[in-house]
Structure 1
Amino acid sequence: MRLVLYQPDIPQNTGTILRLSACLGVPIDLIGPAAFDFSDRSFRRAGLDYLDHVHISRHESFDAFDAARVSLSPTPRLVLLTTHAAESHVDFRFCESDLLLLGRESAGVPQSVHERVDARIRIPMRAGLRSLNIAVAAAMVLGEALRQTDGYPKE
């Protein structure tokens, strides 16, 4: 299981997701360009000293990321978290090798990326509300995925 961040916008959210990744032992793929410098103070503050415990792979573009993904055998599924999905994350059957893709806070992912994912899932929410904070969404879906695959760290 890996978390994939597509061109992140907000350093505090990215730092929080990286802290989540460190605590749960889940690697991160960062697809650039990001909207901030990774030396940004708010990013470092959100990640605290956990950043040294995260395995991060950086990719210059979605095409570079996807080329690396499809070169793996077997190719892991790319699962997009989006408000534009029909299937709920609790109804979806996760695999240990899934890559959970989170879009930009401001715009999600472009249609060209939507067309290249293997699955789209959403978090059920009350009608009339747009979306959850991306770090909250990452934690909710990753938690369900790790529960289903028995992927939580062993204490």
Structure 2
Amino acid sequence: MNIVLFEPEMPMNTGNIGRTCVATNTRLHLIEPLGFKLNEKAVKRAGLDYWDKLDVTVYSDFQDFLDRNPGAKIYMATTKAPKTYTDVEYEPDCYIMFGKESAGIPEEILVEHKENCVRIPMWGDIRSLNLSNSVAIVLYEALRQNGFEKMNMEGHLHRLHWKDEV
């Protein structure tokens, strides 16, 4: 899987998303300009000690991203989409793109990819969810659809303390 962040502005969100990408063996693609420097403490603090394990690529702009990923199947998460993120079937090597926190993905890009635009349903007049939460929601649906390939599917308790109730 691939997560694409179009001009992300907040280092904590990108750090959190980076940590999610490491935990899911997902590549992270960052399209400039970024609203921060990648070496900022806030990015690394949110990513904890996982940032050095992250597979991340930075692009100068959207065209650079397209040029370096020819033929990429790109789903675009936007509040403007008519269908939800559960209405599509995600390919194992697809790209899921999210826009910057303040404005989302520009409409001129969305129009060119309207058949692959998806949304997360929300109640009422809420404008949007937090970017890192949105990435986790859509990414985990895509991973679920692909059988959580090569992911740990079982946890193990180290100590069990069960009381028999009478």
State whether TM-score is above 0.5. Answer: yes
Distance 1:116 1:44 in 2: 34
Q: Aligned partner of 2:78: which letter?
A: T
Q: Aligned partner of 2:54: which letter?
A: V
Larger Rg: 2
Count of aligned pairs:
151
Distance 1:28 1:76 in 2: 14
Residues 74 and 94 of structure 2 are in contact (CA less than 8 Å); yes or no, is this contact kept in structure 1?
A: yes
Cα offset for 1:98? Answer: 1.1
Q: Aligned partner of 2:123: which letter?
A: R
TM-score, normalised to structure 1, is 0.92
Provide the alpha-carbon RMSD of the alignment: 1.2
Distance 2:148 2:117 in 1: 21
Distance 1:15 1:94 in 2: 24
Q: Which runs of 4+ in 1 moved over 6 A?
A: none
Cα offset for 1:28? Answer: 0.7
**Structure 1 regions of 5+ residues with no counterpart?**
none
Distance 2:24 2:149 in 1: 7
Show CA shifts across 1:74-113 (max 9, x none). Answer: x221110000001111121111121000100011121222
Aligned to 1:19: 19
**Structure 2 regions of 5+ residues with no counterpart?**
153-166
Q: Aligned partner of 2:83: which letter?
A: E
Show CA shifts across 1:93-150 (max 9, x none). Answer: 1111210001000111212221333510001111211111010000000000000012
Show CA shifts across 1:9-31 (max 9, x none). Answer: 00000000000000110001111
Aligned to 2:107: 111
Cα offset for 1:6? Answer: 0.6
Distance 2:117 2:61 in 1: 20
Residues 24 and 151 of structure 2 are in contact (CA less than 8 Å); yes or no, is this contact kept in structure 1?
A: no
TM-score, normalised to structure 2, is 0.86
Distance 1:149 1:56 in 2: 22
Q: Aligned partner of 2:33: which letter?
A: P
Distance 2:39 2:53 in 1: 16
Q: Does 1:120 align with 2:112?
A: no
Residues 96 and 151 of structure 1 are in contact (CA less than 8 Å); yes or no, is this contact kept in structure 2?
A: no
Cα offset for 1:67? Answer: 1.1
Cα offset for 1:152? Answer: 4.2
Residues 5 and 30 of structure 2 are in contact (CA less than 8 Å); yes or no, is this contact kept in structure 1?
A: yes
